[in-house]
Structure 1
Amino acid sequence: MDTVQLDGGRPAAKEFRTRNDELFARRKELQEQLAVLRAKADAGELDTLSEPALRRAERQFEDVTLEILNVNFGLVRRYVAMFTSRSSKHIEDFESAGKVGLLWAISSYDPKRGPFAGWAFKPIQREVLRAVRDADHPNLNPGDFEKRPAILAAERAFLEEAGPDAPVDHADVARRAGVTEAQVLRVLDAPRLDSLQTPAPGEDETSWEERLPALSPGVEEEVLLQFDLRAIGGRGLPSLDPRERYVLTRRFGLDGEPEQSLRVIGERLGLSREGVRQIQQKALAKLAGPLVDA
């Protein structure tokens, strides 16, 4: 489905808002239906008519959510262009991160709070900037990364006054940016590790990757994982939105089918591997509470 473009003037913008309003109204209607039907299912009161109705409502809910995602994907592209450099080789991952933010905005949106585009701005921005930091500035902590634009602007202002060849006065830059001198040093002189295959310091020439501890789970961890997955399938999935349920079901084979890789799931959903991983992370975080009680 094509995304409605917002640069065609007032008629296009009005059409966009009208379509969004209709889709969100339909989504809310289906959400209410699902709440009633799932309450019946939890109470063991589903009859031969209610069970197919539940499955049908779930499919329709997934379809309308996907349609809202497609209609509003232009917001993700616009915000990615605002927050990142077009020359970055990670644009696809940034857009996938933006989709995660867009899905969060869809699930939490209340039309009484104003136009959806304004509501979606913050969650999309949050996920995109997190992806930018992870991809291009992995050695900066979130607080320093948030201050990075102000620090770079203060550095430019300082050099315009002192001259391009002048040594940077970190204290002056900190004062201009309203941050600490330590933050300025961490941002302007951030260390870079370009590859895990880079030789680590020492007499031998082993790489950083070879020095990292193995992350493969042991037997006890595998047993606990399988226990948690049974709890997820039995109790946790109804608390997730359709996209999260789909990812966990496919990823861990909760329906008895073979487990699928992040890449394969991403191809089905039109997301990058990183985008699927982020949805998986978000879904598992939601399930952390119910699993404790399982």
Structure 2
Amino acid sequence: MERKKLIREESALEIYLKEIGKYPLLTREEEKYYVIRMKNGDKSAKDKLIKSNLRFVVHIAKYYQNRNLSLLDLISEGNIGLMRAADKFEIAKNCHFVSYAVWWIRQKILRVIGTDRMIHLSKNKFDKLRKINKLYEESSLPNGAIPDIKNIAEYLGFETDIVKELIQFSYGPSSLDKICGDEEADPPINFVKDYDLRPEELAINNSLKRDINDLLNKVLLKKREKEVLEYRFGLNGKPELTLEEVGNIYNLTRERIRQIEGKAINRLRKTKNKEKIAAYLD
């Protein structure tokens, strides 16, 4: 029965992907044109804007695939987020529509994932997860230690494997890489990175990168904070480097670079234009 269900889902997904592949991406000028028409009440313009970005929803949904929810379920939620973004978007935001929409897409997908996961979590583990999450979101533990897996486990008196399991359960594999301190893990800006990107997906990813690059040049950061972000994310012509590689440039430890990066990201989160970058920093 499960196998038949899986085959049906794969067949439906194949048909859907083939269908949305017919909709071309819009240029920046075309996008502005359709947004203006949409705001003037043209429903066909809104439909055009949404359809041209459906493949991007698929790309994000693939990143959040898990054992409990099908890819089609995630795509469906992401599409709701895309439609919500179309309702909220304004040309005055001065960014690509997809850069704005990505936050709404992720919000809907993460919400349905979170609801599904909490249903399958025992009360004991749920209580532990709340304590772990609270510490994980802090820049340091109450005892001054770095909030990595080992230190969180020691502080709470939990087994390391339990902490690792619950972090992955809550945040997904990418956040496990980040909290483990994997210097080769993709930085936040590449959360939809895929080494098999098709040309149209690569164009979307590049436009996102340009938008965050533009904003970084407008936000008031300390010189070193700005440079560290540029190296970590590969912005303003700088190569994308690991924590250790950036540390070698400034003769600082890997951990010190991580702290500078964290402080800079917190500054970006507080900017009035944070909706342009929220998707990359969450």
Work out which of the two has the higher radius of gyration on C-alpha atoms and give 1 or 2: 1
| TM-score normalised by L of structure 1 | 0.35
TM-score normalised over the length of structure 2? 0.37
